[in-house]
Amino acid sequence: MAQQVEGAVAAPKRRQARGERRIAELLEAAGQVFAESGYSATTTNAIAARAGVSPGTLYQYFPNKDAIADALAERFAAELETLQRLLVPDLAALPLDELLSRVLDPMLRFQLENPACPVLFMGPDVPQRLADVHAPLQASLLAGVADLLGALAPQLQPDELQRSAAVALHMFKGVLPLLVTTPPAELPALVEEIKTMFLGYFTVLIGRG
């Protein structure tokens, strides 16, 4: 991030100010185009055009199309890993609706600001390597949800917890497209509705003797 000093560390590229900005712009543009068109249908030329630069400029900062997706996905992975730390079983002590707010609010905000995230993580047309790279994160998220559910509903068996956690994650994924297509004015109501959805499901899970 900070290499104004001439001594420099690791990657001692000199004039990084513009470069870093360009990279950020390119990733932003890539995120938009990926979100709109999916992975295979987006062209590098479209990304460059969206960022307002020429194809050559794009390829000065990224060796190929995959690398762009990688860089975006890595950023997403880092943020998701941070968000995942919210999924501690201690939360189970809270009232269910507050628990849901604590977990869902940051998660939904992140997804709203990064609509390309689900495309790159779960699109059917992403390069296999990218899918492999993020399988562990998916698994870890799943485990986090399963643990939380286990704390909420101790009577459930491990395989039931796995299944319920998987269903919960897929419910979440499923409503993401709604987030980005909903006009901002109706967002709060939608977020409430999503919480209601989880509230209902989890209540049934907990209430099963």
* Least distance (Å) between residue 154 CB and DNA: 50
- Closest CB to a second copy among 57 and 203? 203
**Quick check: 161 and 150 in contact, CB under 8 A?**
yes
- Helix 65-84 vs helix 128-152: crossing angle, to nearest 10: 10
Considering only the stretches 63-71, 106-114, 148-156, 165-173, report the one whose residues sit in contact with DNA under the rule CB under 7 A: 63-71
Considering only the stretches 65-73, 99-107, 130-138, 200-208, report the one whose residues sit in contact with a second copy under the rule CB under 8 A: 200-208
* Residue 76 near a second copy by CB under 8 A: no
- Tokens 């956690």 correspond to 165
Q: Where are the beta strands (DSSP E) in 107-207?
A: none
User: Quick one: which of 28, 32, 35, 66 contacts DNA (CB under 7 A)?
Assistant: 66
**Quick check: 119 and 34 in contact, CB under 8 A?**
yes
Report the chain's terminal Cα–Cα distance, integer Å: 53
Measuring CA to CA, which residue among 50, 43, 40 is closest to residue 130? 40
**Quick check: 102 and 88 in contact, CB under 8 A?**
no
Residues between 6 and 35 that touch a second copy (CB under 8 A): 35
Residues between 89 and 118 that touch a second copy (CB under 8 A): none
Measuring CA to CA, which residue among 99, 66, 106, 98 is closest to residue 82? 106
- Closest CB to a second copy among 23 and 34? 34
Residues between 8 and 47 that touch DNA (CB under 7 A): 13-19, 22, 42-46
Query: Is residue 154 helix, strand or coil?
Result: coil
For DNA, the binding residues (CB under 7 A) are 6, 13-19, 22, 42-46, 52-57, 59-60, 63-66
For a second copy, the binding residues (CB under 8 A) are 35-41, 119, 122-125, 163-164, 166-167, 170-175, 177-178, 186, 189-190, 193-194, 196-197, 199-205
